[in-house]
Amino acid sequence: ATTEIYTLSLHDALPILVELIDKYIITQELPDTSSEEAQAKSYIAEMKAYYESSGYTWADVLANNGFTESTITEYYATNYEKDSVAKKYYKDSITDDEINKYYKNEIIGDITAKQILIVPETTKDSTDAEKETANTNAYNKALEVIQKLKNGEDFSELAKTYSDDDSASVGGTLAPFNKQSDYPTEFIEQAIKLDVNEYSKKPIKTEYGYHIIYIVSKEDKPELDSVKDNIITNLANEKIDNNQNYVNTAWKALREKYNLNIYDTVIKENYDRTMSQYKD
């Protein structure tokens, strides 16, 4: 485990006039900020505990960094509020075309399946040669299990005997899943291709080992209205994950939306220079 190093800094704060505008935008976009205030207090409590465990006096830490208990709470609460508003911006910006495309390509009915997982027997100290041998052995073992299935043996009983997954005790039965589930992509893609009551004829390799899948059932694709909110969330999260500066990108657009005009030449030049690095 690593220890998080907490830092106190105001060096990246925007000019005070812009901050005042941002506060106004927050009140319009985020009427209830109780959650963000709670996050700030929790984070500050962790920060305080860290400094005090390291031999510092919390009052001195605050004073040395130009904070009081009140101003540091406001500072971090504002940061969390800006993050929440940015995430809301990305959700609000999702178009109907994006939603319909995601629905067409990514939404399927839930799949219920069983699996047998064969995990290569390696350790953190295994050499590359040993890992290769272990992978070959696991693959061959999976082929042997598939042959047993071809010979008519019961999938659930084979799972109890051979599977290295926690689901082995229940005959390999997995919780229902879809394309948004936290399963390996290779696993999901093969499950989609298989018909109900069909099992995979070749081992499916993932980071966990070699899988054999048996499809128990497949639900119909849900109606768009029932999954629309989840689609919007997923699309927004994809955009956020692909932009490490998503907060600044969103706030650049939001200030433009609220017609922020800076007439002070120096502040405007500094602001424009700072914002120019963030893509729309």
Residue 145: what residue type?
V
Residues in the chain: 280
Distances (CA, A) of 65 to 10, 49, 146, 197: 9, 17, 65, 65
Distance CA 165, CA 29 (A): 46
Taking every pair of Cα atoms in the chain, the longest distance, rounded to a whole number of angstroms, is 82
Q: Is the torsion defined by CA of 58, 64, 65, 71 positive or negative?
A: positive
The gap from C-alpha 160 to its chain's centroid, in whole angstroms, comes to 33
Pairing of strands 111-118, 209-218: antiparallel
List, for residues 182-230, the tens digit of each pLDDT value: 999 999 999 999 999 999 999 999 999 999 999 999 999 999 999 999 9
**Helix crossing, 265-275 with 16-29: angle to 10°?**
60
Q: pLDDT of 222-251, one tens digit each?
A: 999 999 999 999 999 999 999 999 998 999
